[in-house]
Structure formats: structure tokens, C-alpha cells
Structure 1
């Protein structure tokens, strides 16, 4: 009897992560504001919708070597009934962040995607005049829980170089039925 419960439990667990998700993550808008033009030679982003999926491309080129690089990010979510939820609001050292496993599952998904879609290894110090690009980055619903509520989200990402706000990225999107 115990063996039967173990087999059923494993089957349910495996199927929960293999099932096709009944939702899709859609990015609607990505805006970058370069606040301190003395930091970046280039910082741009583009959003593409291809085959019912949102892809994000971005390029950063620094004017000088960067080793004091922090990010402040917050993610807000609104359910269909307009109930607002703050998913996270964190500030972290990028160098430490890229080299360590994070406790927050969403941030781990982000690190995994950055590393998978980068043209170069993201590590400190970030070198001057080197292109740090993300190409066709997307969020695979299989990385997320099976039961994600439908709604809209806003992700604010602030780039702090040498403890000074240098750029701001705002990503708006939706969780829609699939």
C-alpha cells in the first residue's frame, strides 16, 4: 500500500512539472531610461512578439569598467479583480547575485534566463566597451508554477552604478489564458 502511494505521489509530482501550462506570459512594453549618460555608451532594448511568445533583446556597453553594480527591482501584480500584490522589492549586488543561488525562485528564473541568452559571460568587473547583450530572452511558463493567476504585472529595475541611479527599466506585461 505504501509503495502504491509513493508511485502515485511521484507520478503526480512529475506531471505537475511536465504539463503544458494553461497560461502564457506576455510582455507588452519595455522602456529604458538612461539617467546617467556618463555610464553607458549604449543601453537599449527591443521587444518582439513571435509565434505567440514575447522575446526581449537588450545591449549594454559601459564607458568604463564597472565593479560596483547594484540593482533595485520590484515586481507588482494585479489580479483580474484589480487586487494588487507586491511579489518582491529587493536591492542586491549584481556581482554577488550572478555568482550565487538566490533564495527567491523568481530571481533564480531570471538569472537562468540571463545566462542562457547572453552573448558573453556576465561577471564582474564588467568591462568598458564590451557588448553585454541578451538575445531572444523569454520566460518559459514551464519554469513557473502550474497555477499562476491571470492578471497584469509591472517590473521596475533600477541600475545603480557606484551607488548612483544610472538607468531605469520598466517592463509591463500580462498573464493570459493559453
Structure 2
């Protein structure tokens, strides 16, 4: 099955549902590394495991206005008891455009809505100088995902570029487990 077909299939079945899900998304890693020292004043993100849920908290302050942001993001998935990697997506795009049009892609819409729900920041371009971009108690709400998501492990790598320089790299690893 092609990666594009899998992504389209996943998007077709995304729905908001109020029933309890039989799975939980658990994060094992959320690491943020910045490469451009003259861009970022302060950055700190961490995971907390509370009541069988993973929460990400953190903040970032920029030293200067950022007008152009390109993004390269990938997501790989390994089903439980299977060594074969499935690439769910591998895309390069303009991050500012992405923030404006994420609603057009079901999977990315889930992420953007989730981030906006857990941040007090204005997630629009240009990014502001000396503004505290903070994320509080961010987690993947299973009710925002399709009713069935296979158990397994996943890894996302998202890189942000400005002025054709790698500025920030975020690696997220986790798993989809039985909801207990």
C-alpha cells in the first residue's frame, strides 16, 4: 500500500467521537534541539507522565522576528510485533502556509488544533521577538483520532528552517497502547 494511499485512508476515517477509545497515545520522547544560536533566546520543553497520560510542557522565546519558516516533517509507524516500518508521511512545506491551511488535511488538522488548544501563543507568522511561545499540558486526545488506531510505536521528526538554515529539530517518539 502506498504512503499516499495510507494517508488518504487515515484522513477519510478521522472523526470527532465522544465514546471512550480502546487506545492511549503515550509519548516517550519529545526532544527539541535548536541549531541557530542567534535566533532563540530561551527554549525548554519536557514530558510529564501523569495518570497514564503523557503531557508536554515548555516555552520558547525568540531573539528576532521570524518571517519565513520552512518545515520538513516525517512520521514512521511500526505495528506491534512487527519490524516493518510504515512511513505515514514525509513532507516539506512552508510552515506559515501550513498554519493557515492545516484544516485541509485531516491528520495535520488534528495536530494544529491540539497545539492551539494548549498554547496561549499566536501561532501565525511572523513569529515575534521576546514573545513567550508556551505549550501547557499538551497531549494527543484520543477522541480527536479515528475510532481505530493500530497498536504500535511511532516517531516523528520535524525540522524548521529559516533563511535556509536548520533552526529547530523536534523528535517525538511514543506508542499507541491499550487504554487501561
Q: Which band: TM-score by shorter chain?
A: 0.7 to 0.9
* Greater Cα radius of gyration, structure 1 or 2: 1
Corresponding residue SS for 2:104: coil
Q: Which residue matches 1:46?
A: 46
Q: Are 1:98 and 2:99 counterparts?
A: yes
| Long gaps (5+) in structure 1 | 1-15
What are the within-5 Å matches in structure 2 for residues 1-178 of structure 1?
17-80=17-80, 81-178=82-179
TM-score, scaled to structure 2: 0.86
Contact 2:161 2:168 in 1 (8 A): yes
Contact 2:102 2:108 in 1 (8 A): no
Deviates more, 1:92-101 or 1:49-58: 92-101
C-alpha displacement of 1:18: 2.9
Contact 1:118 1:132 in 2 (8 A): yes
Q: Give deviations 1:78-134, integer Å, cap 9, x for gaps.
A: 011122110111122222121224433221011101111112211111111111111
Q: In structure 1, how many angstroms separate the alpha carbons of the residues matched to 2:163 and 2:138?
A: 27
Q: Which runs of 4+ in 1 moved over 4 A?
A: none
Q: Give deviations 1:112-166, integer Å, cap 9, x for gaps.
A: 0111111221111111111111111111001111111100000101011122101
TM-score, scaled to structure 1: 0.86
Q: In structure 2, how many angstroms separate the alpha carbons of the residues matched to 1:43 and 1:71?
A: 18
| Long gaps (5+) in structure 2 | 1-15
Q: Give deviations 1:32-82, integer Å, cap 9, x for gaps.
A: 221111111112211011111111112121111001112111000001112
What root-mean-square deviation, in Å, do the aligned CA atoms of Structure 1 and Structure 2 show?
A: 1.6
C-alpha displacement of 1:21: 0.8
Corresponding residue SS for 1:78: strand
Q: In structure 2, how many angstroms separate the alpha carbons of the residues matched to 1:114 and 1:69?
A: 17
Q: In structure 2, how many angstroms separate the alpha carbons of the residues matched to 1:140 and 1:171?
A: 16
